Amino acid sequence: MNEGGLRIVHRRPRCGGYTRRMNTAAIDYARYDHVRPIRWTGEALELLDQRKLPFVVEHVSCRTSDEVADAIHALVVRGAPAIGIAAAWGAVLAARALDASGTVPVNAAAAAEALEPAFQRLNAARPTAVNLAWALERMRRAIRHFPDDWRGALSREARAITDEDLAANRKMGTLGAQLIAPGSGVLTHCNTGSLATAGFGTALGVIRAGVALGRIDRVYAGETRPWMQGARLTVWELLQDGIAPTLIADAAAAHLMRTGRVQWVVVGADRICANGDVANKIGTCQLAIAARYTGVKFMVVAPSSTVDMATQSGGKIEIEERDPGELLSVAGHRTVVEGVGAWNPVFDVTPAELIDAIVTERGVVERPNRVSMQAMFGE
């Protein structure tokens, strides 16, 4: 049981996937895991404002669930695991607001009903990332399972979600690094590190572990237009841990692969479907296509909470679209002539057949398909 009393099942895959014997003794987490984007003070949720990095390090203090939802939508906090964690603490704040309003629920069922509008607002903040809905469902279950102490259960569950994510990231880091031959170069996209999680990161966790274990010699990061998460966040974060990445323009990725400088593309995920299709930051699919063409391997790293076995394929995923104006300006300065329109999808779907490995804390699924995904993640 976790702190909130919910059972966490660690399944041994029946086929199509496997777990590896891990040796984490060589990873110095005190050196390679400095950054924390989410802090619970006991009274408020403090979020590292990722819109202002790398030149301004500032936290936004959220004291209501609506403020958390606004922060998620505005990209103060981003990354599928991180927004799930933020939403969980947002649920705790919603419960406290309910008590402060003077309308104290008579029982847990009444509390769940009263909290549902806040849960819905949190869930609507970023609809593509499944972790958001997953975390909120865990909070709903905590209320149901502990009707006599639902307030305490919500706090314990939010803490458990946070702690489990950090542990999962460290495990995935080692599992993914063991797939990479010593002396390799890797390319990553967007930001999938501590800033996007409780700590250590998903794809960046693999890179951190790979550097620590002597398997990765070269790290490249794409800039990730239009919010420049690679240029603003990933390179800053890696430098905090003494890892010096090389930044490239997004359009240079295929050429980089053809030079032989990278052997793996390592990315995160916002949703993984039952057939192995992956929704991730816009531009991921074209990286997978270029990787397959040039013989570079393609790895997706995400916790099992990102796996959505109820969504059969990528065509069923709602793809978030943001303000087209984000493409027309840089740092608030318009760079495109008036009268030009823009289309700004935030995510795309990479077909399973372009993926060499999906790494989760449960194990590794190589060349994912419906059968191997069911073997690893089916209930």
Q: Which residues have a catalytic role annotated?
A: 270
- How far is 171 from 359, CA to CA, in rounded Å? 10
8 Å CB contact between 280 and 269: yes
Compute φ and ψ for 124, nearest 5 degrees. Answer: -75, -10
Pull the structure tokens for residue 343: 């289309």
Alpha-helical (H) ranges within 52-149 are: 65-73, 80-100, 108-124, 130-145
Write the CA distances from 371 to 29, 63, 274, 367, 374, integer angstroms.
Answer: 36, 44, 9, 11, 5
Place of tokens 């966040």: 233
CB within 8 Å of 217: residues ≥ 6 apart? 183, 184, 185
Q: Is 214 left (phi over 0), alpha (psi -120 to 50) or beta?
A: left
Compute φ and ψ for 71, nearest 5 degrees. Answer: -65, -40
Give the residue from 204, 196, 198, 194 showing the smallest Cα distance to 172: 204
Reported residue count of the chain is 379
- How far is 272 from 131, CA to CA, in rounded Å? 11
The CB-based long-range contact list for 376-379 (8 Å cut-off, 24+ gap) reads 376/11, 376/13, 376/16, 376/17, 377/11, 377/304, 377/307, 377/309, 378/309, 379/309
If you ran DSSP here, which 8-state letter would residue 56 be given?
A: -
- How far is 319 from 312, CA to CA, in rounded Å? 15
Specify the DSSP element, H or E, that contains 259: helix 253-259
